[in-house]
Structure 1
Amino acid sequence: MKAIQKYTEQELVALLKQRDANAFSYLYDNYAAALNSIVRSFIPDEQLANSVLQDSFVKIWNQASTFDSIRGRLFTWMSSIVRNTAIDTLRSKDWKNSRQNVELTDRNNEIAADNLLNIDAIGLRKVVNSLREEYKTVVEMCYFDGFTQNDIAETTGIPLGTVKTRLRKALIELRSRISNT
C-alpha cells in the first residue's frame, strides 16, 4: 500500500516552485473540490466548469514561481486565479456567442433566483449594504457583478489604487462585522 504524503503549506509551495509533479498531484487532490466550487459559483455548466478548473490548474502550475507567501495564503492565491479564469471565460467572445443561442427557460430563472436567495439568506447583501457608499459600490461591482479592479476603475473613473484600497478596507470591515454577529 502506498503511503499518503502530507505537506505543510511552505513545503508544498517550495516543491511547486521546483516543479515537483508529486506536489502538484497532491495540490490537485487536496484543493480541486474547493476550487471547483468557486468555478461553479460562476459557471453552472459542468463541462465548461471542468474546463475552467483545468485551465486554472495549468495557470497555477505555470505561475507557481510567482507565489509570495508574504502577500497571502496559497489557497487565497489559487482562489484568485480560479475566480479570474472563470470571469475571463464568461467575458470571452466564444462564451457570449454561445449564450446568444440558448433559450432562457424557467429553469434558468429558478437558478438565478436561487443564487440571489442564497446571498440574501446568509445576510451578505444586508451587511454589504451597511457599508459606506464608496465601499459598497466597489464590493458590489467586484463580487456581485464580476468586475475586475481595472474594470471598476475604468467604469467609475476612480484611480486603480483607490479602488484597491477601498476594496481592501471594505473587506476588512466586512470581516469585522461578520465575525461580530
Structure 2
Amino acid sequence: MLAKSYIDHDSSPKLKVLLSEDEVFAKRLMDRDKTAFKMLYRKYASLIYGRILSKVANQYQAEQLLEQTFIQAYHNIHDFDFVKIKLFTWLNQIAKKQLDKQLFNG
C-alpha cells in the first residue's frame, strides 16, 4: 500500500492513502460488483478449469467443479485477504476443496 503525506494549510498534516489495483479490485469483489466477478471469471476460469480437468477424467464433472468453485468464491469473498494470498491461489484452494469433497462423497 502506498502512502503519501501532504500538508493542508488550513489544518494539521494528513496522510493520503493510495490503493493498489489489487486492493481496488478486491474491494469491488467484496462489494459484490457483478462486473468485477465477470472479470475474475474471465481471468481465472480457464486456468482453474485446466487444473480441475487434470484431476478428473470427466469433462462434465470438471465443468461442475469449476462452477462450484466460482459460486463458493462469490459467497466467501469476504474471507479473501489480498495481503496474504493471491486471487489465483485462493481460487485454486477452493477448487481443490470442491474436488476433495466430490471425491470423498462421490
User: 2:25–2:36: 8 Å Cα contact kept in structure 1?
Assistant: yes
- Distance in 2 (CA, whole Å) between partners of 1:38 and 1:20 is 26
- Distance in 2 (CA, whole Å) between partners of 1:41 and 1:84 is 15
CA RMSD of aligned residues (A): 1.5
User: Partner of 1:44 in structure 2?
Assistant: 57
TM-score scaled by length of structure 1: 0.46
Higher helix residue share: 1
Tell me if 1:19 matches 2:29.
no
Higher relative contact order (CA 8 A, sep 6+): 2
- Distance in 1 (CA, whole Å) between partners of 2:28 and 2:37 is 8
Tell me if 1:87 matches 2:100.
yes
User: Partner of 1:63 in structure 2?
Assistant: 76
User: Partner of 2:90 in structure 1?
Assistant: 77
1:14-163 to 2 correspondences below 5 Å:
14-92=27-105, 95=106
- Distance in 2 (CA, whole Å) between partners of 1:64 and 1:76 is 13
Q: Which amino acid is 2:65 matched to?
A: V
Q: Which amino acid is 1:35 matched to?
A: I
Higher strand residue share: 2
User: Partner of 2:16 in structure 1?
Assistant: none
SS for the counterpart of 2:85 is coil
- Distance in 2 (CA, whole Å) between partners of 1:40 and 1:84 is 14
1:157-176 superposed Cα distances (whole Å, 9 cap, x missing partner): xxxxxxxxxxxxxxxxxxxx
User: 1:52–1:85: 8 Å Cα contact kept in structure 2?
Assistant: yes
TM-score scaled by length of structure 2: 0.76
User: Partner of 1:107 in structure 2?
Assistant: none
User: Partner of 1:140 in structure 2?
Assistant: none
Residues paired across the two proteins, number: 87
Q: Which amino acid is 1:12 matched to?
A: F
